[in-house]
């Protein structure tokens, strides 16, 4: 049996679900500025596969890295942590 490497997992906010079986997830992190020391918010956007089209804008979801599914989609939605209010 082969052992698989650990896959990256991220938690973020769904910003778009207008595509079929795809969502855009925005992940925010705080990075310390190298000179001034102030913490700055940086965001990254990922396209994730949503098999059942169950995500809505504003949901908090967990995504996992998978093999490339299309030109810019290489993440998969694992679970919805919190629904939008």
Q: What is the pLDDT of residues 4-17, one digit of tens each?
A: 788 999 999 999 99
What kind of fold does domain 9-82 have according to CATH? OB fold (Dihydrolipoamide Acetyltransferase, E2P) (2.40.50)
| Average pLDDT of span 57-76 | 96
End-to-end CA distance of the chain: 45
pLDDT above 80 for 61: yes
Helix (H, G, I), strand (E, B) or coil at 60: strand
- pLDDT tens sequence across 7-58: 999 999 999 999 999 999 999 999 999 999 999 999 999 999 999 999 999 9
Look at residue 59 in the predicted model and tell me its pLDDT: 96
CB proximity list for 22: less than 8 A, separation 6 or greater: 47, 48, 49, 50, 73
């Amino acid at each position: 049996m082969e052992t698989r490497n650990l896959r990256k997992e991220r938690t973020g906010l769904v910003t778009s679900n207008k595509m079929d079986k795809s969502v855009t997830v925005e992940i925010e992190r705080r990075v310390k500025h190298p000179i001034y020391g102030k913490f700055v918010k940086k965001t990254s956007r990922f396209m994730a596969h949503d098999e059942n089209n169950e995500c809505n804008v504003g949901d908090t979801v967990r995504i996992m890295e998978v093999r490339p599914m299309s030109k810019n989609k290489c993440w998969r939605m694992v679970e919805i942590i919190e629904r939008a209010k």
